[in-house]
Amino acid sequence: ERLKVIYSQFNNYDLSKLNMGLFKRQSEKLILVSEVINGTKSNIVGMELFYFNPRDFKAGTIHEGFIGVLPEFEGRGIATAMRKHAIAHFRLSGLSGISTRISKNNISSLRSAERLGFKPVEEY
C-alpha cells in the first residue's frame, strides 16, 4: 500500500496488478528511491522502477519502467544520479544494460539518459 502512495506522488497512473505483485516480492532489487534528509525528517523525492520483459530478459538487460522526481526537486541531477546508481547496481548483478522508453517531448529525461550512454534505438 505504501508503494502505491509513493508511486502516486510521481505519476498520474496506477501500477498494474502484475507490477505491484512483482515490486512487493522484489522491491529491494527493482525499486530505487532518492531521499532528502532534513534533520530527523526524510522525504522521498525521486523514484525509479525496473522490471524484466521478454525482450530484455532475452537480451540480458532490465527495463526502466518509470523514473520520476518531484517537481520542486527537478533540475538538480537526482534522476541522473539514480540512473547512474542503477547502472552500477545492475552491472554488478551481471546484466548487460538497461532499456527505457522516453517520450521525445521529455527533453530533460532524454538528456539525463544520453549523458549516461543511453542511445535511441526506436521512436514512439
Residue 108 predicted with pLDDT over 60: yes
Domains of the chain by start residue, with CATH: 2-115 (3.40.630.30)
pTM: predicted TM-score of the whole model, two decimal places: 0.73
pLDDT band for position 31 (cuts 50, 70, 90): low
How many CB atoms within 10 Å of residue 87? Answer: 16
- For the stretch 32-47, pLDDT in tens is 666 677 777 778 788 8
